[in-house]
Amino acid sequence: MMFEANLSYRAVFVLVVKRDLTIALRHRDDIFNPLLFFIIVVTLFPLGVGPESTTLTRIAPGIIWVAALLSTLLSLDRLFKSDHMDGSLEQMLLSPQPVFILVLAKVFAHWLITGLPLILVAPLLAVLLHMNELSYGALILTLLIGTPVLSLLGAVGVALTVGIKKGGVLLSLLVLPLFIPVLIFATSAIDTAAMNLPYSGQLAIIASLLFGSLTLAPFAIGAALKVSTN
């Protein structure tokens, strides 16, 4: 995957996103597996906990967010793995374009493939869990702001383990602690919305995590990829 030096950053970003989306459409299990996992995990809770609406309403935010977190973690391993195996990752690192633009485009494509479908399906599953009607807006907003953070932070762990065979367990150990703040503030925002109280504070914290990740994660990913591929 080589790029001409005279291409603009925007053109390179769009090319990488289109490439990854095209590959994902050819291997549709990359799209459907995390989504099916998300649906299965959420639907199993009413069977295990029981159909009592009061209990499900209380734990619904945690269920949906933990399922979204695990679904994102499930899909992370393929973010750079196939590129590493076919040699295109090395070409990307050697291209004249800035590495942070390339990795940011790949993370954005990953979010479109995995995070966006979760956001679209989550409100339907929230009905199954009898989530409070006041919480739907907070649910969508927290997923919209929080899932890109999961992709960005998760990509750092993937970059560190891309050269390791069977690095899934190590990836989980590296990434899960980074996901915890997003999980805490997202569920807190949804619970606060259910009480008809303002939850802008929690959203602001998640947004700050997003902007911080957007600023620092691409550089960390690029540095980790260079270390892992050498």
CA–CA–CA angle 129, 132, 138 (5° rounding) = 105
Least confident of 75-89, 132-146, 209-223: 75-89
Contact 42, 135 (CB under 8 A): no
Check residue 167 and give its pLDDT: 62
- C-alpha to C-alpha distances, 110 to 80, 191, 204, 211, 220, nearest whole angstrom: 10, 28, 24, 18, 17
- 106 and 20 Cβ atoms separated by less than 8 Å: yes
Q: What is the mean pLDDT of residues 80-107?
A: 81
Query: Which tens digit of pLDDT belongs to each residue from 121-162?
Result: 999 999 988 898 899 999 999 999 999 999 999 999 888 888
More confident residue, 224 or 67: 67
pLDDT at residue 4 tops 60: no
Residues 228, 161 contacting (CB under 8 angstroms) = yes
Residue ranges of the domains in the chain?
Answer: 9-229
52 neighbors 59 (Cβ within 8 angstroms): no
- Range name among 78-87, 99-108, 129-138 with the lowest pLDDT average: 78-87
Q: In this predicted model, which residue has the larger pLDDT, 152 or 229?
A: 152
Calpha distance 39→16 (Å, rounded): 29
How is residue 31 written in tokens? 């799209």
- Give the model's pLDDT for residue 117: 92
Kindly report, residue by residue over 177-204, the tens digit of the pLDDT: 899 999 999 999 999 999 999 999 999 9
Q: Which residues of 1-33 are buried (b: 16+ CB within 10 A; e: fewer)?
A: bebeeeeeeeebbebbbebbeeebeeeeebbeb
